A and B are shown apart, each in its own frame.
Chain A
Amino acid sequence: MANLKEIKRRIKSVKNTQQITKAMKLVSASKLRKAQEAIMSARPYALKLMDVLNHLSARCNKDLHPLLDDREGNRWLVVVITADRGLCGGFNGNIIRKTNRVIEENSDKEIQLITAGKKGHTIFKSRDNKILHDHSGWTRDFNYLKASEIGSTLASLYTEKAVDRVYVLYNEFKSVMQQEVILEQLLPIVPENMDAGKGAKVAVDYIYEPDEETILGTLLERYMTVEVYRAFLESSASEHGARMTAMDSASRNAGDMIGSLSLTYNKARQAYITKELIEIVNGAEALKA
């Protein structure tokens, strides 16, 4: 009897949990849509910027600019993008694991971190990693302005020669179910990426104001900032995708659990009824005799 009550209580608690996970799934779904829209609407700017960069880089001396200066050195800076919240499957874990692997594999390098997201920050703070900056709470309201702040910090660290290489580590959005951890080099800017469109457009005679080199200089920093912005947007879409999948399977598991608990409950109830019937029948038999 006590058993019956207990099962009933468990069913109720699982049902509550299921409600929460279902709600979280719906919220993530709508946030995911927004995040995907943000990625889409960032695309034209990035493409046009690439266009301009391609055609400029084809006609200037690219070795001059400090952001292109590929110097030997072992001071690395890695921007690690995680989420602020958990309950999103392996999303944060994958990033943290990859970061640790990168640090292990490059033990001869001096690696500093910039963390974005509470989850990564708390983990790396508790270890002996050097954290240069922290951008916890970025998921709340992220916009281009923030990306450009981070971008210009990175650019000035690099031009002051405080670091020799800058990477960004983030989850790339493949699909709702799938994210891929990507380690991308931000600085020095890899010229191959820029030469992709070279020669495609035979340049008309352009008027340049002020002059090619100056424009290229400001463009390069902006290009890097756009890359940073994109990485953050990708990460945000991945996070919501991951959470949606995690919450979906959690809801499904809760459903299964409710099913099996209901079965046990009904069985127990049936057993109880049968037992009572037997008792009544037995009592009647005893009276008859």
Chain B
Amino acid sequence: MAENKMQLSIVTPERLVVNEDVDQVNVPGIEGDLGILYDHASILTTMRPGQLSYESDGEKGRETIHMVVSGGYLEVTDNRVIVLAEAAEFLDQIDKERAKTALAKAEEVLADTDLSDDDFEKAQHKLFRAVARLENTEDN
């Protein structure tokens, strides 16, 4: 293990998605994006649905890997980064069509002005998620 690496684990209820040593992690925190480097202070935060990326030394040298997470928690202690996400997908596995339908649906729901707070929150969550998924695919 090289020096100044953090151990990143991304787990979802269905499986352990990532477990490796990385140099930097960027996560969508609830109050803004966070960039986490070596020796980051201990932190516990919730995440909003959005894009997460991490940098590590892969086979082809340094790589940045992008993922989409749908909310969850982030904990950093002693250079161990734990991401608890409800779902996490790698960029290249995203179904663009499905994301687009989800986006249209969420927008439709949000257009309704009589929405209860609860429903509004749910639809907004879905909208964030759809946007995050599409953004990633279009960037690349």
Chain A residues with CB under 8 Å of chain B are: 38, 41-42, 44-46, 48-49, 51-52, 56, 143-145, 147-148, 204-210, 214-215, 218-219, 226, 229
In the bound complex, do residue A229 and residue B46 qualify as a contact, i.e. CB atoms below 8 Å apart?
A: no
Q: Per a CB cutoff under 8 Å, which of A144, A209, A218 touches B13?
A: A144
Is B92's CB within 8 Å of the partner chain A? Answer: no
CB contacts (< 8 Å) of A218 on chain B: these are: 46
CB-CB under 8 A for A45 and B84, given A52-B73, A209-B31, A210-B31: yes
In the bound complex, do residue B14 and residue A144 qualify as a contact, i.e. CB atoms below 8 Å apart?
A: yes
**A-contact 0/1 string along B10-34, CB 8 Å cutoff:** 0111111000000000000111000
What distance in Å separates the Cβ of B81 from its nearest Cβ neighbour in chain A? 12
CB contacts (< 8 Å) of A38 on chain B: these are: 14
CB-CB under 8 A for A215 and B13, given A49-B84, A52-B84, A144-B86: no
Q: Per a CB cutoff under 8 Å, which of A48, A205, A209 touches B45?
A: A209
In the bound complex, do residue B77 and residue A204 qualify as a contact, i.e. CB atoms below 8 Å apart?
A: yes
- Contacts A41-B16, A204-B78 aside, 10 further interface pairs with beta carbons under 8 A come to A44-B9, A45-B11, A48-B11, A56-B44, A144-B12, A144-B13, A147-B13, A208-B44, A208-B45, A210-B30
Is B42's CB within 8 Å of the partner chain A? Answer: yes
What distance in Å separates the Cβ of B16 from its nearest Cβ neighbour in chain A? 5
CB contacts (< 8 Å) of B11 on chain A: these are: 44-45, 48
In the bound complex, do residue A209 and residue B84 qualify as a contact, i.e. CB atoms below 8 Å apart?
A: no
Chain B residues with CB under 8 Å of chain A are: 9, 11-16, 29-31, 41-46, 73, 75, 77-78, 82, 84, 86-87
Considering the chains assembled together, what is the distance between the CA atoms of A42 and B14 in angstroms?
A: 5
CB-CB under 8 A for A143 and B14, given A48-B82, A204-B77: yes
Q: Which of A45, A52, A143, A148 has the most CB of B within 10 A?
A: A45
CB-CB under 8 A for A41 and B46, given A48-B82, A52-B75: no
Considering the chains assembled together, what is the distance between the CA atoms of A210 and B43 in angstroms?
A: 11
Number of A-B contacts (CB under 8 A): 74
CB-CB under 8 A for A148 and B86, given A45-B12, A52-B75: yes
What distance in Å separates the Cβ of A191 from its nearest Cβ neighbour in chain B? 20
In the bound complex, do residue A209 and residue B14 qualify as a contact, i.e. CB atoms below 8 Å apart?
A: no
If over half of A's interface residues share one DSSP class (helix, strand or loop), that class is named, otherwise mixed; here it is helix
In the bound complex, do residue B73 and residue A206 qualify as a contact, i.e. CB atoms below 8 Å apart?
A: no
CB contacts (< 8 Å) of B46 on chain A: these are: 209-210, 214-215, 218
Q: Per a CB cutoff under 8 Å, which of B14, B30, B44, B86 touches A52?
A: B44
Please name the 9 residue pairs, one residue from A and one from B, whose CB atoms are nearest each other, closest first: A209-B45, A144-B13, A207-B43, A41-B15, A45-B11, A204-B42, A45-B13, A206-B42, A44-B11
In the bound complex, do residue B14 and residue A206 qualify as a contact, i.e. CB atoms below 8 Å apart?
A: no
26 A-B residue pairings within 8 Å (CB atoms): A38-B14, A41-B16, A42-B14, A44-B9, A45-B13, A45-B14, A48-B84, A51-B75, A52-B75, A52-B82, A144-B87, A204-B42, A206-B43, A207-B41, A207-B43, A207-B44, A208-B43, A208-B45, A209-B44, A209-B45, A210-B30, A210-B45, A210-B46, A215-B46, A219-B73, A229-B13
What distance in Å separates the Cβ of B109 from its nearest Cβ neighbour in chain A? 17
Closest to A47 in B: B11
CB-CB under 8 A for A44 and B16, given A205-B42, A209-B30: yes
CB contacts (< 8 Å) of B86 on chain A: these are: 144, 148
Closest to A55 in B: B44
What distance in Å separates the Cβ of A46 from its nearest Cβ neighbour in chain B? 8
What distance in Å separates the Cβ of B40 from its nearest Cβ neighbour in chain A? 9
In the bound complex, do residue A207 and residue B42 qualify as a contact, i.e. CB atoms below 8 Å apart?
A: yes
CB contacts (< 8 Å) of B9 on chain A: these are: 44, 48
CB contacts (< 8 Å) of B78 on chain A: these are: 204
Closest to B85 in A: A45
